[in-house]
Amino acid sequence: MLIGFALMIVAVFLCCALLFRLSIYALPLFVAFLAGSATYRGGSGIVAALAAAAIAAIILLAVAQLALAFAKSDLTRAVVGIAFAAPAAVAGYHAVHGIAAATMPPSAWQLIISLLGATIIASASWMQWSRVRP
């Protein structure tokens, strides 16, 4: 019984880590979903939709990497950082709010914890994209 409890804690931790990592990459995931959905609704098969989603995400990441690598001004770097941090903040807010709603009674603390989670995830996304140097 203790081993099962320990494994459940590890599973919850791994799910939260995956949720955190996916929230940091919210913009590429969103673009991939839009490209795959549009391809699939256009009459192509699931394989073509998955390929379109992967290609769209890869192109977005490559363009962002190139924009950060060749950016001469801090304003350009800030715009790219905000473009990735804003969707990450929204995704982080909703992820943490869902966990908070499932684990605590409705109160103002749910909002506070959700906003704190959004801030942490947006900061992590900002730091992820600010590490790219020419």
The predicted-structure confidence for 30-61, as pLDDT tens digits, reads as follows 999 999 999 999 998 999 999 999 999 999 99
The predicted-structure confidence for 61-95, as pLDDT tens digits, reads as follows 999 888 888 888 888 888 888 888 999 999 889 98
- pLDDT score of 134 more than 80: no
Select the more confidently predicted residue: 17 or 51.
51
Angle 53-68-127 (CA atoms, 0-180°, nearest 5)? Answer: 85
**Separation CA 35–CA 105 (nearest Å):** 38
pTM score of the predicted model? 0.78
pLDDT of residue 60: 93
The residue with tokens 């990592």 is 21
Q: Which amino acid is at 61?
A: L
Residues 6+ apart with CB under 8 A from 28: 57, 60, 61
What is the pLDDT confidence band of residue 133, given thresholds at 50, 70 and 90?
Answer: low
- Whole-number average pLDDT of the chain: 88
Domain boundaries, the chain: 22-130
DSSP-assigned letters across all residues of 14-60:
HHHHHHHHHHHTHHHHHHHHHHHHHHHHTT--HHHHHHHHHHHHHHH
pLDDT of residue 41: 94
Q: What is the mean pLDDT of residues 86-111?
A: 89
